[in-house]
Amino acid sequence: MTGPEEVRNTPFYGNVGPLLNEVLHAVDRLLETDEPTTIDLAGLPFGPGELEHLEATLGTGELSCKLDALGTSRIRETAYPGVWWLEHRNPHDEVVGRYIEITRTPEILSSQEADITAGRARLEDQLTT
């Protein structure tokens, strides 16, 4: 994993450092008020290699999930607990969204009411046929 010294001395364009500070502030908010934050990476400027540098800097934590819905999504906790990296792909395996979520659990991991209801109906059907 990239160390703090390397982050400060990034060989890139200077767009990663401010974002990591934003993540730090969001972690503070989560700890102090339990308020989650989502950072949409699509609207931020990154030079060649900077996004990869950001991802490598945040690293990989204990939990990693794959979601198969309208294409694959990968959701993993970074090396910093409470900081999640989400990458959504479409059915053609093209990236359609990248987010950093600072939260205890990303909402998309929770089973949804409508899906639970539909699943229950399927289970009931199976039991009665």
Partner 1 sequence: MKKRPTVGEVLQAKGVSRRGFLKYCATTASILALPPSMIPRIAAAIESARRPSVIWLSFQECTGCTESLTRSASPTVEGLIFDAISLDYHHTLQAASGDQAEAARHAAMEENHGSYLVLVDGSIPLGNPGYSTIAGISNLDMLKETVEGAAAVVAIGSCAAFGGIPGADPNPTGAVAVDELVTDKPVINVPGCPPIPMVMTAVLTQFLTFGQLPELDKHGRPLAFYGQTIHDRCYRRPFYEQGKFAETFDDEGAKAGWCLYKLGCKGPITYNACATAKWNSGTSFPIEGGHPCLGCSEPAFWDKGGFYNPLSTGKFDSGTKLAGAAAAGVAMGVVAAAAGRRRQDKFTREG
- Binding footprint of partner 1 on the chain (CB under 8 A): 13-15, 38, 40, 42-48, 50, 67, 69-70, 73, 88, 90-92, 94-97, 99, 107-108, 111-115
DSSP notation for 87-111: EEE-TTS-EEEEEEEESSS-GGGSP
Query: Is the Cβ of residue 31 or residue 70 nearer to partner 1 in the bound state?
Result: 70
Query: Is the Cβ of residue 57 or residue 73 nearer to partner 1 in the bound state?
Result: 73
* List of E strands, the chain: 37-40, 64-68, 72-77, 83-89, 95-102
Report DSSP state, residue 81: T
Shortest gap between Cβ of 76 and partner 1 (angstroms)? 16
Shortest gap between Cβ of 6 and partner 1 (angstroms)? 18
| 63 vs 107: CA distance, rounded Å | 15
Shortest gap between Cβ of 69 and partner 1 (angstroms)? 3
Shortest gap between Cβ of 64 and partner 1 (angstroms)? 17
Assess contact for 73 and 108: CB atoms under 8 A. Answer: yes
In total, the chain counts a number of residues equal to 129
Query: Is the Cβ of residue 60 or residue 103 nearer to partner 1 in the bound state?
Result: 103
Query: Is the Cβ of residue 1 or residue 52 nearer to partner 1 in the bound state?
Result: 52
Place of tokens 């990989």: 60
